[in-house]
Structure 1
């Protein structure tokens, strides 16, 4: 058998990521039609991913978000999408490059795509990577400043212990404002 010099596997993954991009762009323009809603799993360590330090600590490897009733400011770019979601009542803004997506699932029609993050021909623009790094540095400086100003060392230790005790599962807000927790294994079983 000859070697695949055209890299069909990469071409197909890029084409399917393009389909996810088109789906999200349509939802960004018109909203979610009917019962459609999406579970999107992504690698939190992938280049260009921007999530808060709080979410990064809670989901150090991967995360699944749910776009259903409560999300806002869905913006689709050439290489990434940005969306606002609430986690435990705290609003967050996430930036996810399409190359970081591991899975896309619409349970209303049992449609699923699975990706190998990093297996893409798409190169993220240097400006996007630099902007994400600059935001991460600014967030870290802000967190460091708040920690120095915090007089309650006991409160800080309790918050750190609480963060470490949480299981590494994926979460997003559901329509009733409560958190919906979805393990990656459960996500994969649906696909």
Structure 2
């Protein structure tokens, strides 16, 4: 079997490293200016640690916002822990980088989206379904006309 370069995996590692670097800076210096994050993650990931009521309420994925109030941000090589406020109820969360689906900073229109093989398979299935539904109708084309050459002399006085 020949060896191949797994660009998808390499990109995901680089993107997760970027998130780690950003969060490490925020841990040390706080959020600068208008920066804030929308982080969507898989609540069913085995290493995610959230309150049972949150996983019941968000059984597939959840988006959290780090903006005005957050506490106890701890960044590691595998993920990050933070306490966020849910309706005046502070809740600690642990989110491994592998569980992150999107990371967006709308203040600068920056975003990362992690696609899994399942996402690609879903997109392929959807494309197949759409292609199956498309019917091609024959349309008679109008015959092409040859270009007309107009002499500019007819417009001169």
Same fold? TM cut 0.5: yes
Shift of 1:88: 1.6
Name the SS for the 1:42 alignment partner. strand
1:30 equivalent in structure 2: 29
| Change in 2 beyond 3 A, CA 1:26/1:49 | same
RMSD: 1.8
2:69 equivalent in structure 1: 70
Q: Answer yes or no: is the 8 Å Cα contact 1:99–1:117 preserved in 2.
A: no
Shift of 1:117: 5.6
Q: Answer yes or no: is the 8 Å Cα contact 1:43–1:117 preserved in 2.
A: no
| Change in 2 beyond 3 A, CA 1:70/1:76 | same
1:94 equivalent in structure 2: 93
Give yes or no for the alignment of 1:82 onto 2:81.
yes
| Paired residue total | 117
Unaligned regions of 5+ residues in structure 2, if any?
A: 119-157
Shift of 1:26: 0.2
If you compute each CA radius of gyration, which structure gives the higher value, 1 or 2?
2
1:42 equivalent in structure 2: 41
1:171 equivalent in structure 2: none
C-alpha separation between the residues in 1 aligned to 2:69 and 2:117? 29
Unaligned regions of 5+ residues in structure 1, if any?
A: 120-191
Moved over 3 A (4+): none
| Change in 2 beyond 3 A, CA 1:38/1:7 | same
